[in-house]
Amino acid sequence: MSLLRDLVEPECAEPNALGGFVQQFTSKNTGLYHDQWERDGRERFYQQHGEEFDESQFDEYFNAGGDHLHHDDLDAMLNRNMMRDHPQHMMYHGDEELFMHGIGEHQSSIPKEKHSELQHFFKDFISSSQSHHLLPSINLGDLGLSKLEKNIIKSRSEVLFRQLNEVKDPGYESDQLHRLIDALHIEEDNFDDLEEHWGSTVNNGMFNPPQQFGEEHQYKQEYPDYDEVEQDYDEAYENAIEEDVYDDEWDKITGEDDPFEDAWINGEDRSVDAAWDETARKSLTEITESITRINDPKLKRSNFMKLMNQLHSGDAQIVGNTLVHNNEQQQHTSEPHLEDIGDSWVNDYSGFTDTVSDERLRMYQFTINESRPEDTFEAGMDLFNQGLITDAIITLESEVMRNPENSEAWMYLGIAHAENDKDQQAISCLLKAIDLDPTNLKARMALSVSYTNDYQKERALETLEEWLVGNPAYSHINFSAIGKEEEELSTFQDTWKRHRHTSEWFLEAARQRPNEPDPEVQTALGLLYNMSYEYEKAVDCFKAALQNNSTDYQLWNKLGATLANSNRSQEALGAYFQALEQKPSYVRARSNLGISYLALNMYGEAAQTFLGALAIHPEAVHIWDNLKMVFRLMSRDDLVTKAERRDVNDFVNDFKFIEKMSFNPSTMSASWSPNVLPLNPPNTKFRCDYVDLKDYLVYSRKANDYFLYEINKIKSFNECQDVWDRLNTVSNLRLQLIDNCIGTTENEISQLTPQNKDELRQLRHKLNLLTMEKDVETVLQSSAKKTFHKICK
């Protein structure tokens, strides 16, 4: 018996002063349930449950004692639970009424009538926090909360508050929490210790994610693959240790001595004043909001409403007793003369520096230690234009290290990183460039692209808007008027609304030049449609942008990516080839091309392309991952293992990717004209060399893809027929060649004796490859047919 008593769970803690109604069940309790059970509970239990339970079973448990327990502790516990006494004055017979009322009636320190008040108070707190308004000052009177309860309220509200709002606003947060605390009469000194506790964890972890210091990337390169970790726990442990080392390093960086952090704290005043300003602005917003909600159309057009809207959206501010319009508004109220435009928008633009907040100006992680004098901006640009991106990055880094005020150098450094598929780095460089020269539109456009790639849609939209507002060519459009009726500019609650809004701006800008589309506006629209998954429209925009700008390799790549995203990988190939023709060292286009090959199940080509990209930019982890995926799909585990070493030179014998790189782009483009099919087919009648055949196929298919792309330009039906005939002939020729080769190989196999195991295996492998090649060709042919039918109709 005593053994069972020991098992009574420790549920006898002090009842909570607020609710405490559990105590109603245990008011007589001393934790000694089984004493009661022994006294009278047993009989009562049988009265209730006797029919369900066999008495002898109980006796068995009781008498067997500990011996029985270890057989199945849980079952024993279950039975023990059955035997427990019921709450004395609350025999539960499904009497819901009695039960529910328990809360208000019993021992709660909060008066019953205060319960709904408290509920409403918390509700107010939650809804006001969510909509970023301050809780009105309420006095709830004395609720008789204990110190512990107040602490609990304080800490839980704080955690809850963080879940409610995406935007981190320390000033607002502390104000709102203070309102809550005041209303509940929680004394300030009460939570000093709590602040310490909760505060410390917050400051350490949340708002300074390590990625700010460009470290995450480094760390990911070390452990990009989870697969191995899973198989090897020792290794996992090692990794975890090293991870901790990084953590430590990070702690060091964020330590007090860090000049960046110091600058951050000192430079931008985030002190009490800032918090007060913020509060003042908030309450102004609050006042004006109710007014701006008025729907009377007459009143809406009134100046008062305009002012209120401006105040509400932050376009205008009250400073002292005067009204100050912010730059955006000023821009179109003071109709500028054509000559002045340049100047005026430069001035107006100064406001945009504010949009690059310090938080976003992250530290750029240099790859070099010190700048070399011979690496000038010009040298960097030369390298960049030649397509030697990695070298260009080093040179430009030299330049910006020596000359950190050079906005243009920062911009090209950013663009170079973006071309190397490193958007995070690109973003920090481009932000720097914009910070130094807010008029740098090219940098803004590049930044929005990088944000899009980095899935930071909100920021991409913001940057696009800034680009448009800052563009002198469109300074005459009154942007704030567009879409203003539907929603408030400053209170963007969700990205989609904002997206719609930004799109409207750009459509308006596009309408200004209907006959001669501005490639940049079209590009921006293309990006916007990409974000909203409207790929058809995006394709049209990029094509329009390419009309006047057909040598822009980045545009070709964007077009390709959009086509690929809308499941038109076949067409995407053509666009990527165009991009690579303009700039053979363009890593992003290469990796995208590989992905499209992968989507078309052309694994060999995909691997070749990825290797080509890696030869230029060997540190690109995600390309290595893609490459490994290709090898897995090819069932070439040997190559997967090889890829772990991350050395492209290992693959020189497996794939011909190096030569591809050294192709001269000019000869390539000449040979890819739709009228000429390059490279004579290998003679496979007598001898079948797979490598030769493969080379021909790859080359010939590329021409095929280019054909498909060219076909879009064809106008008349006859022309179409002509091209199709030619294409079909070539495609049939390829099929014929493969068939021949398969025949030859089968012949060879049949001539071999089973003793020649190695040779036989090799031939079988070749046969497999050839069959796959045939499949690919059939797929290509049928998809080409489809495209043709669509276009020629």
Contacts to other proteins from residues 609-648, by CB under 8 A: 621-622, 625-626, 629, 632-633
Measured CA to CA, the distance from residue 218 to residue 215 in angstroms comes to: 5
Stretch that binds other proteins, among 275-283, 492-500, 504-512, 728-736 (CB under 8 A): 492-500
Residue 732 binds to other proteins (criterion: CB under 8 A): no
- Residue among 123, 513, 685, 687 that touches other proteins (CB under 8 A): 123
- Residue among 46, 99, 663, 717 that touches other proteins (CB under 8 A): 99
Cα–Cα nearest to 431, from 369, 364, 376, 498? 364
276 alpha carbon, distance to own chain's centre: 33
The CA-based angle 308-312-314, given to 5 degrees, is 115
Measured CA to CA, the distance from residue 570 to residue 543 in angstroms comes to: 17
Cα–Cα nearest to 278, from 158, 135, 134? 134
- Residue among 3, 113, 241, 750 that touches other proteins (CB under 8 A): 241
Residue 779 binds to other proteins (criterion: CB under 8 A): no
Identity of the residue, 591 or 700, whose beta carbon is nearer to other proteins in the bound complex: 591
Residue 67 binds to other proteins (criterion: CB under 8 A): no
Q: How many residues bind other proteins (CB under 8 A)?
A: 113
Q: Looking at residues 653 to 712 of the shown chain, list those that interact with other proteins (rule: CB under 8 A).
A: none
Residue 534 binds to other proteins (criterion: CB under 8 A): no
For the bound state, the minimum distance from the C-beta of residue 273 to other proteins, rounded and expressed in Å, comes to: 27
Cβ neighbours, 10 Å, residue 176: 25
- Residue among 5, 39, 65, 82 that touches other proteins (CB under 8 A): 82
- Three-state DSSP at 325 gives strand
Identity of the residue, 162 or 372, whose beta carbon is nearer to other proteins in the bound complex: 162
For the bound state, the minimum distance from the C-beta of residue 382 to other proteins, rounded and expressed in Å, comes to: 27
Residue 81 binds to other proteins (criterion: CB under 8 A): yes
Residue 491 binds to other proteins (criterion: CB under 8 A): no
Cβ atoms of 586 and 419 within 8 Å: the answer is yes
Cβ neighbours, 10 Å, residue 530: 22
Cβ neighbours, 10 Å, residue 143: 20
Stretch that binds other proteins, among 256-264, 454-462, 715-723, 759-767 (CB under 8 A): 454-462
Eight-state DSSP code of residue 712: G
Q: At which residue do the structure tokens 């004209």 appear? A: 673
Residue 243 binds to other proteins (criterion: CB under 8 A): yes
Residue 269 phi/psi, 5° resolution? -80, 115
Residue 97 binds to other proteins (criterion: CB under 8 A): no
Measured CA to CA, the distance from residue 404 to residue 394 in angstroms comes to: 14
- Residue among 156, 685, 761, 765 that touches other proteins (CB under 8 A): 156
Query: What letters, b where the CB count within 10 A reaches 16 and e where it falls short, cover 761-772?
Result: eebeebbebbeb
Identity of the residue, 207 or 276, whose beta carbon is nearer to other proteins in the bound complex: 207
For the bound state, the minimum distance from the C-beta of residue 597 to other proteins, rounded and expressed in Å, comes to: 11
For the bound state, the minimum distance from the C-beta of residue 2 to other proteins, rounded and expressed in Å, comes to: 17
Long-range contacts (CB closer than 8 Å, 24 or more residues apart) made by 590-596: 590/616, 591/421, 591/620, 591/622, 591/623, 591/626, 592/557, 592/560, 592/561, 592/564, 593/560, 594/623, 594/626, 594/627, 594/630, 595/564, 595/626, 596/560, 596/564, 596/569, 596/572
| R_g (Cα) of the chain, nearest Å | 36
For the bound state, the minimum distance from the C-beta of residue 212 to other proteins, rounded and expressed in Å, comes to: 11
Q: Looking at residues 341 to 400 of the shown chain, list those that interact with other proteins (rule: CB under 8 A).
A: none
- Residue among 34, 422, 558, 702 that touches other proteins (CB under 8 A): 558
Sorted by sequence, the CB contacts under 8 Å of residue 369 that are 6+ apart come out as none
Cα distances from 172 to residues 85, 194, 360, in angstroms, run 52, 19, 20
Measured CA to CA, the distance from residue 459 to residue 452 in angstroms comes to: 8
Identity of the residue, 244 or 486, whose beta carbon is nearer to other proteins in the bound complex: 244
The encoded tokens of residue 68 equal 């029985």
- Residue among 572, 708, 770, 784 that touches other proteins (CB under 8 A): 572
Residue 596 binds to other proteins (criterion: CB under 8 A): yes
Query: What letters, b where the CB count within 10 A reaches 16 and e where it falls short, cover 249-262?
Result: ebeebbeeeeeebe
Cβ neighbours, 10 Å, residue 380: 25
Q: Looking at residues 188 to 217 of the shown chain, list those that interact with other proteins (rule: CB under 8 A).
A: 201-202, 204-206, 209-211, 216
Stretch that binds other proteins, among 219-227, 284-292, 382-390, 635-643 (CB under 8 A): 219-227
- Residue among 308, 409, 527, 648 that touches other proteins (CB under 8 A): 527
Residue 253 binds to other proteins (criterion: CB under 8 A): no
Identity of the residue, 152 or 307, whose beta carbon is nearer to other proteins in the bound complex: 152
Q: Looking at residues 497 to 526 of the shown chain, list those that interact with other proteins (rule: CB under 8 A).
A: 526
Sorted by sequence, the CB contacts under 8 Å of residue 298 that are 6+ apart come out as none
Residue 543 phi/psi, 5° resolution? -65, -40
- Residue among 60, 188, 225, 650 that touches other proteins (CB under 8 A): 225
Residue 319 phi/psi, 5° resolution? -115, 115
Cα–Cα nearest to 495, from 457, 523, 441, 528? 457
For the bound state, the minimum distance from the C-beta of residue 162 to other proteins, rounded and expressed in Å, comes to: 6
- Report the largest interatomic distance among the alpha carbons of the chain, rounded to a whole angstrom: 105
On the CB side of 432, CA atoms within 13 Å amount to: 26
Cβ atoms of 522 and 541 within 8 Å: the answer is yes
Residue 100 binds to other proteins (criterion: CB under 8 A): yes
Identity of the residue, 147 or 687, whose beta carbon is nearer to other proteins in the bound complex: 147
Residue 453 binds to other proteins (criterion: CB under 8 A): yes
Cα–Cα nearest to 398, from 429, 372, 365, 425? 372
Cα distances from 150 to residues 18, 146, 186, 593, in angstroms, run 11, 6, 6, 60
Residue 771 binds to other proteins (criterion: CB under 8 A): no
For the bound state, the minimum distance from the C-beta of residue 237 to other proteins, rounded and expressed in Å, comes to: 6
- Residue among 58, 61, 62, 122 that touches other proteins (CB under 8 A): 122
- Residue among 271, 367, 493, 635 that touches other proteins (CB under 8 A): 493
Pairing of strands 322-325, 316-319: antiparallel
Identity of the residue, 103 or 760, whose beta carbon is nearer to other proteins in the bound complex: 103
- Residue among 288, 292, 310, 557 that touches other proteins (CB under 8 A): 557
Residue 543 binds to other proteins (criterion: CB under 8 A): no
Residue 575 binds to other proteins (criterion: CB under 8 A): no
For the bound state, the minimum distance from the C-beta of residue 78 to other proteins, rounded and expressed in Å, comes to: 6
- Residue among 592, 608, 700, 731 that touches other proteins (CB under 8 A): 592
Q: At which residue do the structure tokens 């091209």 appear? A: 723
Residue 124 binds to other proteins (criterion: CB under 8 A): no
- Residue among 59, 88, 112, 159 that touches other proteins (CB under 8 A): 159
Stretch that binds other proteins, among 405-413, 489-497, 707-715, 777-785 (CB under 8 A): 489-497
Cβ neighbours, 10 Å, residue 393: 24
For the bound state, the minimum distance from the C-beta of residue 329 to other proteins, rounded and expressed in Å, comes to: 28
- Residue among 63, 163, 283, 551 that touches other proteins (CB under 8 A): 163
- Three-state DSSP at 316 gives strand
Measured CA to CA, the distance from residue 497 to residue 499 in angstroms comes to: 5
Identity of the residue, 123 or 645, whose beta carbon is nearer to other proteins in the bound complex: 123
Q: Looking at residues 11 to 30 of the shown chain, list those that interact with other proteins (rule: CB under 8 A).
A: 11, 13, 15-16, 18-22, 25-26
Measured CA to CA, the distance from residue 516 to residue 538 in angstroms comes to: 18
